[in-house]
A and B are shown apart, each in its own frame.
Chain A
Amino acid sequence: MTMECSKAQSLISDFSVGLVNRRQKAEIEAHLAQCPECAAEFEKLNKVMLLVDGLDSKEPPAGLWNGVHNRITQPESAWKHNVRRRVAGWSVGLAAAVLAIMMFFSRAHDTRNTYAANEYMQGHAAYASQELFADQAALNSVAAIAYRDQVGGRQ
């Protein structure tokens, strides 16, 4: 018996970035295997995540803040002032929401990548230590530390 579509869809975004527990993960995977609608939804979300992955962080253009400051300090009519204040309020709210979503996703991805990195570094270092002239002592140190980073929180 798998979960219902409504529950699956409420968890699907967390699932896509690896933030569900093992039981939920197994239930969602079972549901996605049976439900083409939810599977399509999940596929769409994955495509969005890939786009987010591809985004680079951009620096604001030089002089942006001076421009904002000049506009704020210019005298203007009360009507214009009210409209601008509302637009500014909405813009700030929207920008904050976008920023929060991006921070959430980037953090989730960073965390997921870190575990992947620690998991795989151990394999990479272990096999590298079998190459000719390998510095086994140093490579095994790297593997041992990566292991501790990976399991450290569970000790």
Chain B
Amino acid sequence: MKRLVLPVLIVVAGLLTWGLLSRADQKMLSPQEVRRIVDAPDSSSYSAVGTTTFLYKGKPLSVRIKVFHDAPDKHRIEYLSSPLKGVTVVENGEQAWRCDPQCQAVVSMDCSGSGRLGLFLDNYVVERVGSDKAAGRSASVLLVKSKSGQAKKRLWVDAKTYIILRSEDYDATGKVQSSTRLDSIRYTPVPDSMFARPSSCPAGPGKVMSRAELSKAVGFQVKSPGYVPKGYRIDGYRLYECPCGCGHKSAYVRYTNGLEGISVFETRANSGCMKEGKCDVGMASCPLRDQLAFTSKDGISFVVLGDLKLDELRKITISIK
């Protein structure tokens, strides 16, 4: 009898370990499953209504939205309530722009996108943490975590189409930074006219260039941080033109880890958006004021932005050379 106890214990322990491991495997999404969510907008067109909430002056602010998506890459967001009522953001696969009737402005934005799945999978894992209802549909609840275990995003993904129906973003301290929730969604084609480019739309922002080309374009030697947190890779050197149309140009060096970015803007110390009659707002009005560090070296100003703790941003700023 005694001789049987040890083999039985070994078999039981083995079964338990196998059970636990297989459960863990089920919980963690494979690269193919992650890819399916990333590629979902390529095959589903839809119209939806919802709410987006973000931090403004340190307080959460909610705005009602309408979202239109025409597969594979046309996207339109209409802001329906104050303070952004009337603002529209459109992306047609080649260019993105934002129309703001209050400012009578059309601002062009880059839509070349990073979208590096390999880099994302190097730095993050996606876990299935449950199921829920979102926008009236069955959804899988997924948690995107850094490999060190820090939660970055929670996603409610349509169980049939894999479209993201709800999302929550967490800041470097784990607090909710922004969220968007679709209340209803209709999978249906959207007419092309919804994505027509306005005639007043300015040319798109500069494309990626080499560091030498960018240095030539801005008239000074573009510098880089000697330190960026683990997992970040350079996303590109770009010429950044002030969106207000004043003509001010800066060097823009961007880093990404596949999910989040770090932006380093460089300009001559005494230049900047200098249009006369600028509004007199305090630093407190900066929506991302906790994600920004500033310094000047050798006559050049550096502004570093990223969803990192302030001491980490300062470390990057100090390391610029």
Nearest Cβ on chain B to A37's Cβ, whole angstroms: 17
Q: Are A120 and B79 in contact (CB under 8 A)?
A: no
Q: Are A114 and B274 in contact (CB under 8 A)?
A: no
Q: Are A117 and B283 in contact (CB under 8 A)?
A: yes
Looking at A2-10, A62-70, A88-96, A131-139, the stretch in contact with chain B turns out to be A131-139
Complex formed: what's the CA distance from A134 to B112 in Å? 14
Q: Using a CB-CB cutoff of 8 Å, which residues 102-140 of chain A contact chain B? A: 110-128, 130-133, 135-140
Residues of chain B at interface, number, CB under 8 A: 89
Q: Are A115 and B263 in contact (CB under 8 A)?
A: no
Q: Are B301 and A116 in contact (CB under 8 A)?
A: yes
Q: Are A148 and B67 in contact (CB under 8 A)?
A: no
B100 contact set on A, CB distance < 8 A: 144, 147-148
Q: Are B114 and A131 in contact (CB under 8 A)?
A: yes
Q: Which of A53, A120, A130, A151 has the most CB atoms of chain B within a 10 A radius of its CB?
A: A120
Map CB proximity to B onto A135-155 as digits: 1 under 8 Å, 0 otherwise: 111111111111111111111
Is residue B232 within 8 Å, beta carbon to beta carbon, of the partner chain? no
A151 contact set on B, CB distance < 8 A: 103, 105, 244, 275, 278-279
Nearest Cβ on chain B to A48's Cβ, whole angstroms: 12
Q: Are A152 and B287 in contact (CB under 8 A)?
A: no
- Indicate whether A22 sits within 8 Å of B276 (C-beta atoms), given known contacts A119-B244, A133-B155, A135-B179: yes
Q: Are B259 and A148 in contact (CB under 8 A)?
A: no
Complex formed: what's the CA distance from A74 to B175 in Å? 55
- Indicate whether A46 sits within 8 Å of B299 (C-beta atoms), given known contacts A15-B270, A150-B278: yes
Is residue B107 within 8 Å, beta carbon to beta carbon, of the partner chain? yes
Q: Are B83 and A145 in contact (CB under 8 A)?
A: yes
Nearest Cβ on chain A to B75's Cβ, whole angstroms: 7
**Closest A residue to B37 using CB positions:** A133
- Indicate whether A119 sits within 8 Å of B273 (C-beta atoms), given known contacts A127-B254, A150-B244, A151-B244: yes
Nearest Cβ on chain A to B223's Cβ, whole angstroms: 16
Complex formed: what's the CA distance from A119 to B279 in Å? 13
Nearest Cβ on chain B to A44's Cβ, whole angstroms: 12
Other-chain residue from B111, B263, B278, B286 in contact with A130 (beta carbon distance below 8 A)? B111
Is residue A55 within 8 Å, beta carbon to beta carbon, of the partner chain? no
8 shortest A-B CB distances, which residue pairs?
Answer: A153-B279, A130-B113, A138-B178, A137-B52, A152-B279, A126-B109, A124-B263, A124-B305
- Indicate whether A110 sits within 8 Å of B110 (C-beta atoms), given known contacts A119-B273, A133-B164, A145-B287: no
